[in-house]
Chain A
Amino acid sequence: MKPTDLFSKEWLIKRILLDTSESLSSEENEMLALLRHDIVEQPVIYIGTSSCGVVAGALKTLDAIKKYLEKHKIETRIVEVGCIGLCSAEPIVDIQLPGKPRLSFSNVMPSDVEILLGDLLHHTVPANNIIGQFRSKLHEPWSNVQFIDEHPFFKYQKRIVLINCGISDPINIEEYIAKGGYRSYLKAITSYTPEKVCQIVDKSGLRGRGGRGFYVGAKWKIAREHSSDQRYLICNCDESDPGAFMNRSVIESDPHLVIEGIAIAAYAIGATKAYIHIRKAYEKAIEQMTIALEQASKYGLTGNNILGSGVNMNIVLRSSAGAYISGEETALIRSIEGKRATPNHKPPFPTQIGLFEKPTVVNNVETLATLPAIFNMGPQWYAEHGTASSKGTKVFSISGRVKNIGLIEIPFGLSLKQVVFDIAGGTKDNKVFKALHLGGPSGFSLPENMLDTVIDFEELEKQGLSIGLGGMVVMDEDTCMVDVARFFIHFMKKESCGKCIPCREGSRRMSDIIDNITRNLSYETSFETLERFKGVMQLEEMAEIIKITSLCGLGKSAPNPILSTLKWFREEYEEHIFDRKCRAGVCQSLRKYYIDADKCTGCTACESKCPTNAIFGTPLNPYYIIEEKCIGCGICYDVCRFSAIFVK
C-alpha cells in the first residue's frame, strides 16, 4: 500500500501544514518517515532521470532495471529523482533496502544492472561503481562503505538550495511536505507581515544570485515603497549561458522549493501574481514545473485565499522562446509582455516601473530557492555561512576538462583553487591546467595564479571580476585561449539583440578581428594584411569602448572574455599574430601537418582524401605534404592508419 492511500491530502494539510502545535502520534510519525523514505517497507530503487541523466542513458538503465525486476518477480518501488550534482557519474542509481541506509552507485549502464541488483538484493555490496552510503540515524550503516558526505565531491559542500536535489522525488508534493516543505511559506503568511518578511531577508544578508549581487531585501523594499495597486514577481530561469545548468537542475530536481520561494517573495512585495520564465529548450524543467504547479494548486497552496489565510497568490508559467538576451531583466519583462526582448534603459528600474508598468521584482531561481531555508532555520543561521560581505552559499556548475563534472553548492569563502582541485578533482588525464573560465560568455578566463582568489562578491569585485551566474569551465593545455575568446565573441555576435550600436557592431567587428588572427594567410593580399594589423591594434581599445557605452549588462560585459584573455594569455595572441602558430593545435587554419617518412608506407589513403591535393608522392614510397597548399583540415591525420602524420 502506498503511504498516501492511508493518510490523505486533508491529513497533511491539517496536521502537518496548519496545526504544528500538537505533537504527532507515533503512527503519524511513522507515516511521515515512510513518506520521507527514512524507512522503507520494500526495496526502493532511485534513478536520476533529469536531463544530465537522460543524456547519459538513464532511461535505458531504467528499462533494464524494470526488465530485471519483472524477470525475477521482485517487488520494489522505483522512484525517479533529479540530479544529485555529480553529473559525470550519471546514470546514478541508488538502492535502499529495508532496515539499511541508502546506497548510491555511479555510471550504472544497462549491462551493470544484473550484477548490481543481483548482489544487492542478496545483501552484498558490489565493489564497483559505488559512490557511498547516505547517513541515517535509524539504521545500522553498511560496513566498509564510505559515507557519501565523505566523498571529495560532496565533502566541502553545504547544501541549502540543493538539499533535496537527486534525493527525493521532485514531483511528489507529499514527500516535500513530509520533509518540512511549505511550512516556511505558511509561517511567513500567517505569522509575519510583509515588512517583517523583508526585514528577515535583510537580516540574513541574502544577495541576488543572478550576477550582480544586489541585496534582496533592499530590492524588495524599493518595490514595496513604490505605491501601486498591483505588483509582480518574476522568477528568472532563462539561463542560457554556455556551460551553466544550475537553474535548470534546481527546477528539474526540486520544483516545489522554487514555488515556495516564489510564494514567499511575492507575499513580501505584495504581489498576487508571479511569473516563472523558463527557457523553452529546458523541456524537462517545464514539464516538472507544470506538474508541481498543478499539485500545489490542488493542495490549495496557490490560488485565492491560501488555506484560509486571505492571501492570494497566482503563479503563471511562461516559456521563453529562445533568445539569450531575455535573461536580462528589462528584456525579460518585454518578452512576457509579448514584445521583442530588447533591454530598456535603466533607470527607471523594474522595481519602479516594470511589467505592465507596475513595480516588478525579478529574482533568480537560486535566490528564491534559498528563501524557505532562511525562514525555516532563521536568518542568523543563514548568515553564519559564508563571509562578512557574502552570506550563505552559492551554487556553481563546474564542467570542462575536470574529473568531476557537475553541480556544487559551497559556502562563500572557499578559494577557486579548492573548487577546481579538491571538489572537481583537478584536470582529467593528468593534463596541465591552463585556465578557469568563470561566469559564461560575459565572464573571465583566469590563469592558475589567480585561483587563490576567494569566492566572495567583494573580493572578486576588487580584482575586477564577477561570479556571473556561476558557471565554471576548466580548460587544460589542449585548449587555445584565442579560440575560447573567439567562441564567446561569436556567441555574443549571434545573441546581440541589435538595439544599441556598440554591442551590435562592436561584437561583429571584434569577431572579425579574432577570425583574422586565426585565419590562414596563404592567399592574403597586402590590403588585407593592413586591415588585419589595424584590427589587432584596435582590439583592446574597442573592447574598452564597448564596455563603457553599451546599453545593457550583456553588452557591457561582452568584451570580458577578450579583455581577460588579453590580460592573462597575451603571449598566445602574440604567437598567433607573429609566429602564425597555435600552441594547442586547435585553430584549424594555423595547423600544419607533416608526414613522418619513416612511418609512411605509401598506402595513398591520405593522398586520395586530401581536398586541396597538397599531398604528393609515389605509391609504396613515403609521401610528403606541400606546406603552402595545406589548409590544416586534418582529414589526412584521421585517415592515416600508421600514425605517420603529425601536427607541428
Chain B
Amino acid sequence: MEIETILEKYTGSQRDNLIPILEEIQEERGFISEEAIVKVSRFLKLPASKIYGVATFYDFFHFERQPAYHIRVCNGINCHLAGSDNILRKLEEELKVKAGQLTRDGIFKYELTGCLGACNSAPVIKINDEFYSGITADDISQIIEECKMKIKEA
C-alpha cells in the first residue's frame, strides 16, 4: 500500500494519531523510510525532525529494511538467569555481527528485546513470529542452519 493511501485513512487527524500512522506504515512497508517521515510531516503539519524524534524514541520503529530472520532474545530476568548471555555470545559467534547489526548477507539480525513474558520456558528467543523455548547455546547453530535451509529452498 502506498503511504498516501494510509494517510488518507487518517484525514483530519492530529498529532495523537502519529504513532498509529507510523505503526501502520511500518507494517505495510517493513520499515520507516526518510520519504515516509517527510510525507507524514507534511500531512500532520509537524516538523520532520519532531516526527523523527518521536519515532527514534520507541524501540519498535526501525529505519532500514528488515532481514528475513529477525531474532529477538528475551531480556527478562528469568531468561538472564537461565543463561541468555550464552545464547547472545553464541549468536555473535555464529553470525559474526554484534547485536542490532545486519549480517553481511542481509538474512539475519539479532537483538535483545524486553521481557516476552514467557518466563515458564526460559530462555526464550523469538524468530520473526515463532517462539523457541528452553534452548541452550548448542541449539543455536542448528536453528540458524534450519533458517538458512528455508531461504535456500525459497
Contacts and interface: CB of A to CB of B under 8 A. Distances in A.
A239 B19 CA distance: 19
B153 to A, nearest CB: 22
Nearest to B118: A55
Interface in B119-137: 119-122, 124, 129, 131, 133, 137
Nearest to A249: B117
A379 to B, nearest CB: 32
B119 A399 contact: yes
Contact of B115 (A240, A400, A401, A406): A240
A235 interface: no
Interface stretch (B1-9, B70-78, B101-109, B142-150): B70-78
Interface in A472-489: 473, 475, 479, 484, 487-488
B58 A248 contact: no
Nearest to A247: B117
A54 interface: yes
Main SS at interface, chain A = mixed
A338 B17 CA distance: 6
A243 B77 contact: yes
B60 A280 contact: yes
B83 to A, nearest CB: 9
Contacts of A324: 114
Identify the interface centre among B54, B61, B81: most chain A CB within 10 Å of its CB: B81
Interface string A569-589: 000000000000000000010
A56 B115 CA distance: 16
A647 interface: no
B133 A56 contact: yes
Contacts of B61: 321
Interface residues of A, number: 55
A338 B54 contact: yes
Contacts of B60: 280, 321-322
Contacts of A405: 119-120
B81 A55 contact: no
A55 B78 contact: no
Interface string A31-62: 00000000000000000000110111100000
B15 interface: yes
Nearest to B89: A633
Contacts of B115: 240-245
B131 A54 contact: yes
A240 B114 contact: yes
Interface in A581-614: 588
Given A55-B133, A281-B113, A356-B16, 7 more contacts: A57-B133, A87-B120, A243-B115, A243-B119, A280-B60, A321-B61, A638-B137
A55 B120 contact: yes
29 contacts: A52-B117, A52-B118, A54-B131, A55-B133, A87-B119, A88-B120, A90-B120, A240-B114, A242-B80, A243-B115, A244-B115, A279-B114, A281-B113, A282-B117, A322-B58, A323-B57, A323-B58, A323-B59, A337-B16, A338-B18, A338-B54, A340-B54, A397-B119, A400-B81, A400-B119, A405-B119, A473-B77, A491-B75, A497-B57
